[in-house]
Amino acid sequence: MSDHDHDHDHPHEPIAGDQGSVAARARALEELLVEKGVVQRGDVRRNVDWLVSRSPADGARLAARAWVDPGFRDRLLEDARAAALDLGLDPGPSPVVVAVENTEQVHHIVVCTLCSCYPRALLGPPPAWYKSLPYRSRAVSDPRGVLEEFGLDLGDGVELRVLDSTADIRYLVVPRRPEGTDDLGEEELAALVTRDSMIGVAEPLAPASAIA
């Protein structure tokens, strides 16, 4: 444990680690891009601010609306970008967002094996594990094993589909609506739709009535 000043009491490795050199590299790169006129000063900050202002709540609104409105569901699966705009959401700069639907028969899981492509506009920044090498390789080589580690046992009858977002398309999973949610309103339903369920590594939360 390091001996720097703490306002919390759990042990951990020094947080700085490699971050110092990464930050220095990022600053140098930004300086170079500004100097060469590729970006304007402030562009990077503005984009980072936009990115961290995004959250899975937007994706959850799409899923919940799809659960309660079959017409919207069809539109979402047909053109997710247009559907997001319909709800007043910002689908982001990616030209195409594709939504896929999990059903009793079919389960989708999303990965970017080449880097960390992710529907950031609708889900916010990707979790660290999504960008990790083990997830990026094992989502393809052992997807059922990955799902089991996330606590999801699909059963043999369910067809598993892996979506590798290798290019310009961003994929969003519309998870299965949980049992026992017939009486819930759209906002309550959206609260059940987690980030992980929209990546396809988890089911949505169970309604509170089912837990109690």
Partner 1 sequence: MTFRVGDRVRVADRAHEGHHRTPAYVKGHSGRIERVHGSFTNPETRAYGSEGLPEQVLYQVAFDLDPARTYVDVFEHWLEEGR
Tell me which residues touch partner 1 (CB under 8 A).
Answer: 95-96, 98, 113-114, 140-144, 159-169
Residue with Cβ nearer partner 1 (64 or 172): 172
In angstroms, give the least distance from the CB of 166 to partner 1. 5
Give the whole-angstrom CA distance, residue 135 versus residue 161. Answer: 15
In angstroms, give the least distance from the CB of 162 to partner 1. 4
In angstroms, give the least distance from the CB of 35 to partner 1. 15
Residue with Cβ nearer partner 1 (89 or 109): 109
For residue 66, give Cα distances in angstroms to 28, 47, 169, 174, 204: 45, 29, 20, 8, 14
Tell me whether residue 2 is one of the annotated catalytic residues. Answer: no
In angstroms, give the least distance from the CB of 103 to partner 1. 15
* DSSP character at residue 17: T
In angstroms, give the least distance from the CB of 137 to partner 1. 9
Give the whole-angstrom CA distance, residue 99 versus residue 68. Answer: 16
Tell me whether residue 209 is one of the annotated catalytic residues. Answer: no
One-letter amino acid at 142 equals D
Residue 42 Ramachandran class (φ > 0 left, ψ -120 to 50 alpha, else beta): left
Give the whole-angstrom CA distance, residue 125 versus residue 174. Answer: 18
Neighbours of 152 (CB within 10 A): 17
Residue with Cβ nearer partner 1 (19 or 166): 166
Residue with Cβ nearer partner 1 (108 or 177): 108
Q: Considering 2, 55, 115, 141, which one is annotated as catalytic?
A: 115
Residue with Cβ nearer partner 1 (43 or 142): 142
Give the whole-angstrom CA distance, residue 188 versus residue 114. Answer: 36
Tell me whether residue 116 is one of the annotated catalytic residues. Answer: yes
Determine the angle formed by the axes of helices 70-78 and 56-68, rounding to 10 degrees. Answer: 130
Cβ contact 179:104 at 8 Å: no
- The residues annotated as belonging to the active site are 112, 115-117
